[in-house]
Amino acid sequence: MAKRDFQKLSLRLRIEAKHKAQQQAVLVPWRRLAESAETYVGWHIFGLWVRAIVECADELPEIVRSALDARCPGFLEREGRQREERLREQPLVWQSLEEWVSSHHFGDAKEKGWFDAVMYYAYANLRTEQAWSLWERTKEAWHSSRPARWPTLEEWTAHVIGTPSLTQTGSEKARAVEALARVDPKRLQQAVSGSLESRAFALWLACVSQPDQALGELAMRELHDHCPSFLAASGPELLWGRSLFSRLVGFGEAEWRAAARVERWEAALRYQVAHHPRLHRLVHYVHRCQDEWLHASPHPYPSFADWLRGADEYFVLPVA
Protein backbone atom coordinates (compact mmCIF):
# COMPACT_ATOMS: atom_id res chain seq x y z
CA MET A 1 0.00 0.00 0.00
CA ALA A 2 1.38 3.42 -0.97
CA LYS A 3 2.08 5.89 1.83
CA ARG A 4 -0.58 8.32 0.59
CA ASP A 5 -3.19 5.56 0.41
CA PHE A 6 -2.27 4.43 3.92
CA GLN A 7 -2.64 7.98 5.23
CA LYS A 8 -6.05 8.30 3.60
CA LEU A 9 -7.16 4.99 5.08
CA SER A 10 -5.90 5.96 8.53
CA LEU A 11 -7.72 9.30 8.34
CA ARG A 12 -10.95 7.61 7.26
CA LEU A 13 -10.73 5.09 10.09
CA ARG A 14 -10.12 7.87 12.63
CA ILE A 15 -13.11 9.81 11.33
CA GLU A 16 -15.30 6.72 11.48
CA ALA A 17 -14.15 5.95 15.02
CA LYS A 18 -14.84 9.54 16.11
CA HIS A 19 -18.31 9.46 14.53
CA LYS A 20 -19.11 6.15 16.25
CA ALA A 21 -17.91 7.46 19.62
CA GLN A 22 -19.93 10.66 19.35
CA GLN A 23 -23.03 8.68 18.44
CA GLN A 24 -22.52 6.55 21.54
CA ALA A 25 -21.79 9.58 23.72
CA VAL A 26 -25.41 10.75 23.73
CA LEU A 27 -26.52 7.46 25.31
CA VAL A 28 -25.42 8.73 28.72
CA PRO A 29 -25.51 12.11 30.54
CA TRP A 30 -22.33 14.00 29.73
CA ARG A 31 -21.26 14.31 33.38
CA ARG A 32 -21.28 10.55 33.82
CA LEU A 33 -19.42 10.15 30.55
CA ALA A 34 -16.79 12.67 31.62
CA GLU A 35 -16.34 10.97 35.02
CA SER A 36 -15.98 7.56 33.36
CA ALA A 37 -13.42 8.90 30.88
CA GLU A 38 -11.44 10.49 33.72
CA THR A 39 -11.52 7.19 35.62
CA TYR A 40 -10.27 5.38 32.54
CA VAL A 41 -7.36 7.85 32.27
CA GLY A 42 -6.37 6.90 35.81
CA TRP A 43 -6.40 3.21 34.91
CA HIS A 44 -4.43 3.98 31.76
CA ILE A 45 -1.72 5.68 33.79
CA PHE A 46 -1.68 2.67 36.12
CA GLY A 47 -1.39 0.28 33.19
CA LEU A 48 1.53 2.12 31.66
CA TRP A 49 3.30 2.10 35.04
CA VAL A 50 2.86 -1.68 35.21
CA ARG A 51 3.98 -2.06 31.62
CA ALA A 52 7.08 0.09 32.03
CA ILE A 53 8.31 -1.92 35.03
CA VAL A 54 7.34 -5.39 33.78
CA GLU A 55 9.05 -4.87 30.44
CA CYS A 56 12.29 -4.01 32.20
CA ALA A 57 12.20 -6.41 35.17
CA ASP A 58 13.56 -9.96 35.14
CA GLU A 59 10.59 -11.13 37.19
CA LEU A 60 7.33 -9.67 38.43
CA PRO A 61 8.48 -7.18 41.12
CA GLU A 62 6.75 -7.14 44.47
CA ILE A 63 5.75 -3.49 44.00
CA VAL A 64 3.75 -4.45 40.89
CA ARG A 65 2.40 -7.67 42.40
CA SER A 66 1.11 -5.80 45.47
CA ALA A 67 -0.47 -3.07 43.35
CA LEU A 68 -2.21 -5.59 41.10
CA ASP A 69 -3.48 -7.57 44.10
CA ALA A 70 -4.83 -4.39 45.71
CA ARG A 71 -6.33 -2.76 42.65
CA CYS A 72 -7.21 -5.78 40.52
CA PRO A 73 -8.08 -8.61 42.95
CA GLY A 74 -8.07 -11.93 41.15
CA PHE A 75 -6.21 -10.67 38.10
CA LEU A 76 -3.00 -12.61 38.81
CA GLU A 77 -4.85 -15.74 39.87
CA ARG A 78 -7.38 -15.84 37.05
CA GLU A 79 -5.26 -18.10 34.90
CA GLY A 80 -2.93 -19.42 37.58
CA ARG A 81 0.81 -19.41 37.82
CA GLN A 82 1.34 -19.75 34.08
CA ARG A 83 -0.37 -16.42 33.50
CA GLU A 84 1.84 -14.70 36.08
CA GLU A 85 4.99 -16.06 34.47
CA ARG A 86 3.86 -14.81 31.08
CA LEU A 87 2.97 -11.33 32.34
CA ARG A 88 6.44 -10.09 31.43
CA GLU A 89 5.65 -10.57 27.75
CA GLN A 90 4.80 -7.08 26.50
CA PRO A 91 1.61 -7.80 24.50
CA LEU A 92 0.11 -9.87 27.33
CA VAL A 93 0.70 -7.51 30.23
CA TRP A 94 -0.86 -4.62 28.37
CA GLN A 95 -3.72 -6.41 26.67
CA SER A 96 -4.64 -8.63 29.61
CA LEU A 97 -4.70 -5.81 32.15
CA GLU A 98 -6.59 -3.54 29.77
CA GLU A 99 -9.19 -6.25 29.14
CA TRP A 100 -9.54 -6.93 32.86
CA VAL A 101 -10.06 -3.24 33.66
CA SER A 102 -12.60 -2.70 30.88
CA SER A 103 -14.67 -5.73 31.92
CA HIS A 104 -14.52 -5.14 35.69
CA HIS A 105 -14.83 -1.35 35.85
CA PHE A 106 -16.60 -0.38 32.64
CA GLY A 107 -18.95 -3.29 32.21
CA ASP A 108 -22.03 -1.06 32.33
CA ALA A 109 -20.69 1.19 29.58
CA LYS A 110 -19.87 -1.84 27.43
CA GLU A 111 -23.25 -3.45 28.06
CA LYS A 112 -25.19 -0.25 27.31
CA GLY A 113 -23.16 0.65 24.25
CA TRP A 114 -21.17 3.75 25.20
CA PHE A 115 -17.72 2.32 25.99
CA ASP A 116 -16.26 3.60 22.71
CA ALA A 117 -17.28 7.10 23.83
CA VAL A 118 -15.43 6.57 27.13
CA MET A 119 -12.33 5.54 25.17
CA TYR A 120 -12.64 8.49 22.81
CA TYR A 121 -12.70 11.10 25.57
CA ALA A 122 -10.08 9.27 27.62
CA TYR A 123 -7.66 9.29 24.69
CA ALA A 124 -8.47 12.94 24.00
CA ASN A 125 -7.40 13.73 27.57
CA LEU A 126 -3.99 15.41 27.70
CA ARG A 127 -2.99 13.28 30.70
CA THR A 128 -3.18 10.22 28.47
CA GLU A 129 -0.78 11.82 26.01
CA GLN A 130 1.57 12.78 28.83
CA ALA A 131 1.47 9.21 30.16
CA TRP A 132 2.41 7.76 26.77
CA SER A 133 5.26 10.22 26.35
CA LEU A 134 6.57 9.39 29.83
CA TRP A 135 6.36 5.67 29.06
CA GLU A 136 8.28 6.09 25.79
CA ARG A 137 11.03 8.12 27.45
CA THR A 138 11.18 5.80 30.45
CA LYS A 139 11.45 2.71 28.27
CA GLU A 140 14.39 4.23 26.41
CA ALA A 141 16.10 5.43 29.58
CA TRP A 142 15.67 2.12 31.44
CA HIS A 143 16.94 0.19 28.42
CA SER A 144 20.22 2.08 28.80
CA SER A 145 20.34 2.13 32.59
CA ARG A 146 18.02 0.14 34.82
CA PRO A 147 16.84 2.18 37.87
CA ALA A 148 18.11 1.37 41.34
CA ARG A 149 14.50 1.08 42.48
CA TRP A 150 11.15 1.10 40.73
CA PRO A 151 9.02 4.24 41.06
CA THR A 152 5.85 3.94 43.09
CA LEU A 153 2.56 4.49 41.32
CA GLU A 154 2.21 7.82 43.12
CA GLU A 155 5.63 8.91 41.85
CA TRP A 156 4.79 7.73 38.34
CA THR A 157 1.50 9.64 38.37
CA ALA A 158 3.26 12.79 39.56
CA HIS A 159 5.77 12.38 36.72
CA VAL A 160 2.88 12.05 34.26
CA ILE A 161 1.29 15.26 35.48
CA GLY A 162 4.66 16.99 35.38
CA THR A 163 5.57 15.81 31.86
CA PRO A 164 6.16 19.16 30.09
CA SER A 165 6.14 18.02 26.48
CA LEU A 166 5.19 15.17 24.17
CA THR A 167 7.59 13.04 22.20
CA GLN A 168 5.81 14.12 19.01
CA THR A 169 6.05 17.91 18.86
CA GLY A 170 4.15 20.49 16.84
CA SER A 171 0.65 19.02 17.09
CA GLU A 172 -2.39 20.60 18.70
CA LYS A 173 -2.01 18.24 21.67
CA ALA A 174 1.70 18.95 21.99
CA ARG A 175 1.11 22.71 22.16
CA ALA A 176 -1.67 22.20 24.71
CA VAL A 177 0.53 20.03 26.93
CA GLU A 178 3.33 22.59 26.85
CA ALA A 179 0.82 25.25 27.91
CA LEU A 180 -0.41 23.17 30.87
CA ALA A 181 2.79 23.90 32.76
CA ARG A 182 2.02 27.63 32.69
CA VAL A 183 -1.37 27.56 34.42
CA ASP A 184 -2.75 26.32 37.73
CA PRO A 185 -5.14 23.39 37.06
CA LYS A 186 -7.98 24.99 39.06
CA ARG A 187 -7.62 28.24 37.12
CA LEU A 188 -7.68 26.38 33.84
CA GLN A 189 -10.79 24.51 34.96
CA GLN A 190 -12.49 27.82 35.81
CA ALA A 191 -11.57 29.21 32.40
CA VAL A 192 -12.93 26.12 30.64
CA SER A 193 -16.19 26.24 32.62
CA GLY A 194 -16.61 29.95 31.93
CA SER A 195 -15.97 29.48 28.22
CA LEU A 196 -18.48 26.63 28.03
CA GLU A 197 -21.12 28.72 29.80
CA SER A 198 -20.51 31.51 27.29
CA ARG A 199 -20.92 29.15 24.36
CA ALA A 200 -24.01 27.64 25.95
CA PHE A 201 -25.62 31.07 26.15
CA ALA A 202 -24.90 31.77 22.47
CA LEU A 203 -26.26 28.33 21.53
CA TRP A 204 -29.43 28.97 23.53
CA LEU A 205 -29.92 32.21 21.62
CA ALA A 206 -29.55 30.24 18.40
CA CYS A 207 -32.47 28.07 19.51
CA VAL A 208 -34.84 30.89 20.49
CA SER A 209 -34.00 33.29 17.63
CA GLN A 210 -34.79 33.43 13.92
CA PRO A 211 -32.12 34.17 11.30
CA ASP A 212 -32.02 37.82 10.20
CA GLN A 213 -34.79 38.69 12.66
CA ALA A 214 -34.62 41.00 15.66
CA LEU A 215 -34.08 39.28 18.99
CA GLY A 216 -37.26 38.66 20.94
CA GLU A 217 -38.20 39.99 24.33
CA LEU A 218 -36.94 36.91 26.21
CA ALA A 219 -33.58 36.99 24.41
CA MET A 220 -33.14 40.70 25.08
CA ARG A 221 -34.03 40.26 28.74
CA GLU A 222 -31.52 37.41 29.15
CA LEU A 223 -28.88 39.42 27.30
CA HIS A 224 -29.44 42.29 29.70
CA ASP A 225 -28.99 39.94 32.67
CA HIS A 226 -25.98 38.04 31.34
CA CYS A 227 -24.16 40.50 29.06
CA PRO A 228 -25.27 44.07 29.87
CA SER A 229 -22.06 45.63 28.57
CA PHE A 230 -22.38 43.71 25.29
CA LEU A 231 -25.93 44.93 24.90
CA ALA A 232 -24.94 48.51 25.67
CA ALA A 233 -22.24 48.43 23.01
CA SER A 234 -24.45 46.85 20.34
CA GLY A 235 -27.29 49.33 19.93
CA PRO A 236 -31.02 49.05 20.56
CA GLU A 237 -31.84 46.41 17.92
CA LEU A 238 -29.93 43.20 17.29
CA LEU A 239 -30.49 40.89 14.33
CA TRP A 240 -29.72 37.24 14.89
CA GLY A 241 -27.12 35.69 12.61
CA ARG A 242 -23.71 34.04 12.42
CA SER A 243 -21.93 37.31 13.03
CA LEU A 244 -23.84 38.01 16.24
CA PHE A 245 -23.24 34.43 17.41
CA SER A 246 -19.47 34.77 16.91
CA ARG A 247 -19.41 38.15 18.64
CA LEU A 248 -21.25 36.76 21.65
CA VAL A 249 -18.91 33.79 21.97
CA GLY A 250 -15.88 36.05 21.66
CA PHE A 251 -17.29 38.53 24.16
CA GLY A 252 -18.05 35.84 26.72
CA GLU A 253 -14.58 34.31 26.50
CA ALA A 254 -12.61 37.54 26.03
CA GLU A 255 -11.44 37.96 29.62
CA TRP A 256 -10.18 34.40 30.00
CA ARG A 257 -8.61 34.30 26.56
CA ALA A 258 -6.83 37.60 27.16
CA ALA A 259 -5.29 36.28 30.38
CA ALA A 260 -4.41 32.97 28.74
CA ARG A 261 -2.76 34.73 25.83
CA VAL A 262 -0.63 36.97 28.05
CA GLU A 263 0.35 34.05 30.32
CA ARG A 264 0.85 31.69 27.36
CA TRP A 265 -1.62 28.93 28.21
CA GLU A 266 -4.20 29.72 25.54
CA ALA A 267 -3.42 26.48 23.67
CA ALA A 268 -4.45 24.46 26.72
CA LEU A 269 -7.68 26.44 27.14
CA ARG A 270 -8.56 26.16 23.47
CA TYR A 271 -7.92 22.40 23.45
CA GLN A 272 -9.84 21.68 26.64
CA VAL A 273 -12.91 23.58 25.44
CA ALA A 274 -12.89 22.08 21.94
CA HIS A 275 -12.63 18.50 23.24
CA HIS A 276 -14.97 18.80 26.22
CA PRO A 277 -17.95 16.40 26.28
CA ARG A 278 -20.21 19.17 27.54
CA LEU A 279 -19.60 21.27 24.42
CA HIS A 280 -20.38 18.33 22.16
CA ARG A 281 -23.57 17.64 24.12
CA LEU A 282 -24.65 21.28 23.90
CA VAL A 283 -24.26 21.25 20.12
CA HIS A 284 -26.21 17.99 19.87
CA TYR A 285 -28.96 19.42 22.07
CA VAL A 286 -29.20 22.51 19.86
CA HIS A 287 -29.80 20.33 16.80
CA ARG A 288 -32.40 18.34 18.70
CA CYS A 289 -34.24 21.51 19.80
CA GLN A 290 -34.13 23.06 16.36
CA ASP A 291 -35.46 19.88 14.74
CA GLU A 292 -38.31 19.54 17.24
CA TRP A 293 -39.19 23.23 17.36
CA LEU A 294 -39.32 23.42 13.57
CA HIS A 295 -42.60 21.51 13.80
CA ALA A 296 -43.93 22.90 17.07
CA SER A 297 -42.27 25.85 18.78
CA PRO A 298 -42.64 25.92 22.57
CA HIS A 299 -44.76 28.69 24.06
CA PRO A 300 -43.07 30.29 25.80
CA TYR A 301 -39.48 29.50 24.94
CA PRO A 302 -37.47 28.16 27.91
CA SER A 303 -35.27 30.56 29.82
CA PHE A 304 -31.53 30.11 29.45
CA ALA A 305 -31.30 28.47 32.90
CA ASP A 306 -34.08 25.98 32.08
CA TRP A 307 -32.63 25.24 28.65
CA LEU A 308 -29.13 24.68 30.03
CA ARG A 309 -30.48 22.39 32.72
CA GLY A 310 -32.22 20.36 30.03
CA ALA A 311 -29.07 20.25 27.91
CA ASP A 312 -26.94 19.05 30.81
CA GLU A 313 -29.42 16.29 31.67
CA TYR A 314 -30.07 15.30 28.05
CA PHE A 315 -29.27 11.86 26.74
CA VAL A 316 -30.89 9.45 24.30
CA LEU A 317 -32.31 6.11 25.40
CA PRO A 318 -30.82 3.29 23.30
CA VAL A 319 -33.11 1.61 20.83
CA ALA A 320 -34.25 -1.75 22.20
User: pLDDT digit string (tens) for 259-282?
Assistant: 999 999 999 999 999 999 999 999
- CB atoms inside a 10 Å sphere around CB 155: 12
| pTM of the complete model | 0.90
Tens digit of pLDDT at every position of the chain (320 positions) = 454 544 454 556 667 778 889 899 999 999 999 999 999 999 999 999 999 998 898 788 999 999 999 999 988 886 455 555 555 554 467 778 899 999 999 999 999 999 999 999 999 999 999 999 999 999 999 999 999 999 999 999 999 999 999 998 899 999 999 999 999 999 999 999 999 999 999 999 999 999 999 999 999 999 999 988 998 877 667 899 999 999 999 999 999 999 999 999 999 999 999 999 999 999 999 999 999 998 888 989 999 999 999 999 999 987 66
Question: Would you list the domain boundaries of the chain?
Answer: 13-163, 185-313
Intra-chain end-to-end CA distance of the chain, in Å: 41
